[in-house]
């Protein structure tokens, strides 16, 4: 098949030849970057495969269990596989963990007792955690249970403020939470090496402090995970990177046996812990999703790098910038106007395999002071390892976009977003 046929196929999806050609020129400059991403995926594929082989995963592990789920060998083996992949003593990987926020809530509330203090040395946590912690008042928050919260903000350039962190670690500081990805913030995301330095520093101030990393969006982006550099717990969602797009629900907590056992007691009940929790037939999706996760994550990363490299030369500010290294799969593109945000999201939506025919419109969302626009046409509701984009409709009019189960789908969505901007006269090819 020649280039013309490929271009014609993209044409049928609504991408004009000039847009395709611009994309092709951008891609020519990304060969080295893509090779690096592929090398990381290859390493992580070997890591996952090794864990599955060592734990002798077999077809018997895919059987569904119901009720209490006693003696669920598929579930227990999957947890050993996760523990090996993240190089931890133990893991809790369950469909009963409903989302990332739930996994983080379990990890925090299991390991903090009344009178303890939680510290974030990296500024404000992800939006949904504000009510969990009690930064915004909520029933059942940690604050309501007598757990206090302290925060050390980052330096203006996004680096760790070590003197402030040292001052914030006190006698009651029991657990330190580090968010790897910037999420929907404007700070940089942290590399595993940076997280390692921060952990070493915190332990030098208080050797017995427990350290948890919110690992959402970061899994398999680098060869190492935060648990390789000293975290007691790493926590995330299965409808992001580690579910590989196949897990329809779930969360994970990998860490020390002591921390994970407490999490299991919190999730089910004291005394029951990991012994209960039927797998409900989800084991094939969990195993196969984890097996595919390194490649799926690589596709999403290529999409993020491609988007920044495509938009930056057109005058749109990108965070991270095109040339910057990646520590998660999120790409922010500052579009500068509400009309441009709508056009961008319309392009992403029209590229979706599901609900391609709908037009995203901004709507009010709890916790946001401006209407939020979202583009998502996913097989799994709300899955953000699938191609998706969203952002609040207010200055600087930035969309956060992430995912793509395959690189080709991410490429199509990004080119279509640009096509919509070009069609509306909101961008011009160089």
Residue 178 or 260 having the CB closest to ligand PLP: 178
CB of 129 vs ligand PLP, minimal distance in Å: 7
Write out the residues near ligand PLP by the rule CB under 6 A: 99-101, 126, 128, 179, 181, 183, 214, 216-217, 237
CB of 430 vs ligand PLP, minimal distance in Å: 33
Residues 238, 250: Cα–Cα separation, whole Å: 5
What are residue 409's phi and psi, to 5 degrees? -70, -40
Residue 326 or 411 having the CB closest to ligand PLP: 326
- Which two structure tokens, joined as six digits, stand for 176? 């330190």
CB of 281 vs ligand PLP, minimal distance in Å: 22
Residue 217 or 291 having the CB closest to ligand PLP: 217
Residue number of the CB closest to ligand PLP reads 100
CA 168 from centre of chain = 28
Q: Could you tell me if 85 and 48 are in contact, meaning their C-beta atoms sit under 8 angstroms apart?
A: yes
Q: Could you tell me if 111 and 259 are in contact, meaning their C-beta atoms sit under 8 angstroms apart?
A: yes
CA 362 from centre of chain = 23
Residue 217 or 397 having the CB closest to ligand PLP: 217
Residues 272, 292: Cα–Cα separation, whole Å: 32
CB of 26 vs ligand PLP, minimal distance in Å: 27
CB of 3 vs ligand PLP, minimal distance in Å: 38
CB of 282 vs ligand PLP, minimal distance in Å: 16
What are residue 160's phi and psi, to 5 degrees? -75, 135
Residue 106 or 216 having the CB closest to ligand PLP: 216
- Counting other chains too, the contacts that 26-33 makes at CB distance below 8 Å and 24 or more residues apart are 26/306, 26/309, 26/310, 26/313, 27/306, 29/309, 30/302, 30/305, 30/306, 30/309, 33/305
Residue 296 or 421 having the CB closest to ligand PLP: 296
């Amino acid at each position: 098949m020649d280039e013309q046929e490929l271009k014609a196929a993209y044409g049928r999806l609504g991408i004009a030849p000039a847009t395709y050609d611009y994309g092709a020129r951008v891609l020519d400059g990304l060969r080295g970057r893509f090779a690096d991403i592929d090398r990381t995926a290859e390493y992580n594929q070997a890591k996952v495969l090794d864990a599955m082989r060592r734990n002798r995963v077999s077809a018997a592990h895919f059987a569904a269990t119901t009720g209490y789920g006693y003696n669920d060998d598929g579930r227990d083996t999957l947890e050993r596989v996760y523990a090996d992949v993240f190089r931890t003593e133990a893991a809790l990987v369950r469909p009963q963990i409903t989302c990332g926020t739930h996994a983080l809530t379990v990890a925090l509330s299991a390991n903090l007792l009344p009178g303890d203090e939680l510290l974030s040395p990296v500024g404000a946590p992800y939006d949904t955690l504000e009510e969990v912690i009690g930064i915004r008042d909520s029933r059942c928050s940690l604050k309501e249970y007598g757990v206090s919260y302290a925060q050390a903000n980052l330096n203006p350039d996004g680096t760790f403020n070590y003197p402030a962190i040292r001052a914030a670690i006190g006698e009651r500081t029991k657990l330190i939470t580090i968010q790897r990805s910037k999420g929907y913030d404007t700070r940089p995301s942290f590399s595993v090496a940076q997280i390692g330095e921060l952990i070493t520093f915190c332990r030098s101030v208080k050797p017995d402090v427990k350290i948890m990393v919110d690992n959402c969006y970061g899994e398999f982006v680098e060869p190492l995970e935060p648990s390789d550099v000293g975290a007691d717990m790493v926590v995330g969602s299965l409808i992001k990177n580690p579910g590989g797009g196949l897990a329809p629900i779930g969360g994970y907590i990998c860490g020390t046996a002591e921390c994970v056992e407490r999490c299991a007691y919190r999730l089910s009940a004291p005394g029951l812990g990991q012994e209960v929790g039927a797998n409900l037939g989800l084991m094939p999706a969990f195993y196969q999703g984890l097996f595919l996760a390194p490649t799926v994550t690589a596709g999403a990363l290529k999409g993020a790098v491609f988007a920044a490299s495509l938009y930056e030369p057109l005058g749109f500010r990108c965070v991270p910038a095109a040339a910057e290294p990646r520590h998660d799969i999120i790409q922010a593109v500052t579009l500068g106007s509400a009309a441009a945000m709508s056009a961008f999201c319309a392009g992403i939506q029209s590229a979706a395999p599901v609900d391609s025919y709908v037009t995203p419109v901004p709507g009010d969302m709890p916790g946001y002071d401006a209407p939020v626009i979202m583009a998502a046409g996913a097989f799994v509701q709300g899955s953000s390892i699938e191609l998706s984009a969203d952002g609040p409709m207010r200055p600087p009019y930035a969309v956060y976009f992430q995912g793509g189960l395959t690189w080709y789908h991410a490429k199509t969505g990004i080119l279509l977003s640009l096509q919509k901007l070009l069609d509306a006269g909101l961008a011009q090819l160089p």
